[in-house]
């Protein structure tokens, strides 16, 4: 049922969530403000999302409400659906980059003081991740956000859009910021920062 709602919302959101109406549909609670203020960080900002709530709305909402994001996109298996979703994501200024050539663009965007976005909730392969504790269970997690943060001094925040009702009303839930002063032990720093988020 949730995935059906995500699909319908994804088809309709660019007609309902416009720069003029978005603040009527998406609430940001006061306790989220420490994370939201990081959009003005001169070192840029790493925004981590997850497949929670409506992840398609998250990027568009960030780009309208705060600052346009550069997001990584993995092309979908169906080229027509992939093209459709790509166009939707770019409607209100969100920029996209293919994951295969993303690192240089992400670092450059951060160094220019702008935000980048990654989904961080998928299993990482042996060469790509570290094992962290996730609610008492070992979870192999991607380290790219932690590595970029340590390299650029960009803080990390987590932002997800939670559905409040079935009338296109949502809440933007923010956590963070997360950062770590490098100790000189790169592997441990990456592991510790990954465990934080």
Q: How far is CA 151 from CA 80, 147, 166, in A?
A: 37, 6, 41
Q: How far is 70 from 27, CA to CA, in rounded Å?
A: 23
- By C-alpha distance, which of 186, 177, 135 is closest to 155? 177
Q: How far is 139 from 134, CA to CA, in rounded Å?
A: 6
- Going residue by residue through the chain (197 aa), what tens digit of pLDDT does each one get? 999 999 899 888 888 999 999 999 999 998 999 999 999 999 999 999 998 888 889 988 999 999 999 988 777 788 888 787 777 777 887 888 887 778 899 999 999 999 999 988 888 888 788 999 999 999 999 999 999 999 999 999 999 999 999 999 999 999 999 999 999 999 999 999 999 99
Provide the whole-model pTM.
0.90
Q: How far is 24 from 169, CA to CA, in rounded Å?
A: 8
Burial class (CB in 10 A: 0-12, 13-18, 19+), 113: middle
Helix (H, G, I), strand (E, B) or coil at 158: strand
């Amino acid at each position: 049922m949730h995935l059906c709602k995500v699909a319908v919302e994804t088809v309709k959101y660019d007609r309902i969530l416009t720069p003029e109406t978005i603040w009527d549909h998406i609430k940001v609670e006061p306790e989220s403000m420490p994370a939201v203020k990081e959009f003005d960080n001169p070192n840029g900002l790493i925004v981590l999302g997850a497949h929670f709530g409506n992840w398609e709305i998250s990027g568009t909402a960030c780009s309208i409400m705060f600052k346009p994001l550069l997001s990584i996109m993995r092309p979908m298996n169906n080229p027509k659906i992939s093209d459709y979703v790509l166009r939707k994501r770019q409607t209100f200024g969100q920029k996209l980059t293919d994951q295969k050539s993303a690192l240089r663009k992400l670092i450059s965007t951060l160094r220019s003081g702008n935000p980048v976005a990654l989904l961080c909730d998928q299993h990482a392969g042996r060469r790509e991740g570290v094992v962290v504790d996730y609610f008492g269970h070992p979870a192999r997690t991607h380290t790219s956000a932690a590595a970029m943060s340590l390299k650029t001094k960009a803080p990390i925040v987590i932002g997800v859009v939670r559905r409040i009702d079935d009338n296109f009303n949502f809440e933007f839930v923010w956590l963070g910021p997360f950062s770590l002063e490098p100790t000189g032990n790169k592997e441990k720093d990456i592991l510790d920062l990954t465990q934080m988020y």
